[in-house]
Structure 1
Amino acid sequence: MANSLSLRSILDAKKLTGSNFIDWFRNIKIVLKQEKKAYVLGGPILEEPSDNATNEEKKAYRVYMDDFNQATCVMLASMGLDLQKQHEVMNALDIILNLRKMFDKESHIGRFNILRELF
């Protein structure tokens, strides 16, 4: 657990404010990978198993949802207050999609402008 806390401190020190989206997202992936929860960002949300599903399938779904909810909480906790309020009703995948719409283009433009000035 000590490793988990030390890596999460990266997120406390570098909360998402907007312009740092790419760095923040990289740090989120690092923390979730270390905690073995990064897989929840890799695709659509699992569907709840039917009533006649096996106990193993139901358990796997519960573990997935626990990991998914924890990833969402880690993301929200590492945002500035305004962004946190804006995303508090979303899940991890919706948060990422929304943040990409908001900031990814900005960061690409900023990077382009810096490279243009350098050359």
Structure 2
Amino acid sequence: MVNSLSLRSILDAKKLTGPNFIDWFLNNKIILKQEKKAYVLNGLVLEETSDDAISEENEAYRFYMDDFDQATCVMLASIASDLQKQHKAMNALYIILNLREMFSKENRTKRFNISRELFRCKMSEASPIRPHMLKMKGYIT
């Protein structure tokens, strides 16, 4: 039975451009989970079967590699074209590692700056509490 619900349109609408790496990665995991292929992101890569392997092992390896290739294609299709060119020769695990390395520093700096503003946020005496709380809530969000 073919699943009529496809979440891949989420990735088309929100391609990876850099600052949205965390959201992009979570969306990819959701789509791969829905398609029953998220297990390939666990970091375990099956070794190619030997010539004397039984047919069940060969079939399992071929099934795994098909899912792994599909996960790679989903990721490549959902990133900006300049990033596609950089990652077209990589598999899904290497793509994630490389993108995480590229964009985690930027996200860390952004989180630090927001935290700094949050901790510096002080309410002036005799001012209403609502605007102050909304400002703090915005920083936390």
Once residues 109 and 56 of structure 1 are traced to their aligned partners in structure 2, the CA distance between those partners, rounded to angstroms, is: 49
Secondary structure of the 1:3 match is: coil
Once residues 117 and 100 of structure 1 are traced to their aligned partners in structure 2, the CA distance between those partners, rounded to angstroms, is: 25
1:38-57 mapped onto 2 (5 Å cutoff): 38-57=38-57
Please tell me the residue identity of whatever aligns with 1:54: I
Please tell me the residue identity of whatever aligns with 1:86: Q
Shift of residue 115, structure 1, vs aligned partner: 2.0
Once residues 28 and 115 of structure 1 are traced to their aligned partners in structure 2, the CA distance between those partners, rounded to angstroms, is: 27
Matched, 1:26 2:41: no
More helix, by proportion: 1
Question: Could you say which structure has the larger radius of gyration?
Answer: 2
Once residues 77 and 19 of structure 2 are traced to their aligned partners in structure 1, the CA distance between those partners, rounded to angstroms, is: 17
Aligned position for 2:114: 114
Once residues 111 and 67 of structure 1 are traced to their aligned partners in structure 2, the CA distance between those partners, rounded to angstroms, is: 34
Shift of residue 44, structure 1, vs aligned partner: 3.0
Once residues 2 and 116 of structure 1 are traced to their aligned partners in structure 2, the CA distance between those partners, rounded to angstroms, is: 46
Aligned position for 1:12: 12
Aligned position for 2:93: 93
Aligned position for 1:2: 4
For 1:55-93, what per-residue CA distance to the aligned partner results, in whole angstroms no more than 9, with x for missing partners? 111000000000000000000000001001110111001
After superposing the two structures, state which structure 1 stretch, 74-83 or 40-49, moved more. Answer: 40-49
Once residues 77 and 46 of structure 2 are traced to their aligned partners in structure 1, the CA distance between those partners, rounded to angstroms, is: 24
Once residues 79 and 43 of structure 1 are traced to their aligned partners in structure 2, the CA distance between those partners, rounded to angstroms, is: 21
Once residues 57 and 18 of structure 1 are traced to their aligned partners in structure 2, the CA distance between those partners, rounded to angstroms, is: 39
Q: RMSD of the alignment, in Å?
A: 0.9
Once residues 16 and 44 of structure 2 are traced to their aligned partners in structure 1, the CA distance between those partners, rounded to angstroms, is: 24
Q: How many residues align?
A: 117
Q: Once the two structures are aligned, what percentage of the paired residues are identical?
A: 74
Once residues 76 and 106 of structure 2 are traced to their aligned partners in structure 1, the CA distance between those partners, rounded to angstroms, is: 21
Question: Runs of 4+ in structure 1 displaced over 4 angstroms?
Answer: none
For 1:3-45, what per-residue CA distance to the aligned partner results, in whole angstroms no more than 9, with x for missing partners? 12xx111100110001110110000000000000000010132
Secondary structure of the 1:73 match is: helix
Normalised by the length of structure 1, the TM-score is 0.94
Ranges in structure 1 where 5+ consecutive residues have no aligned partner: none
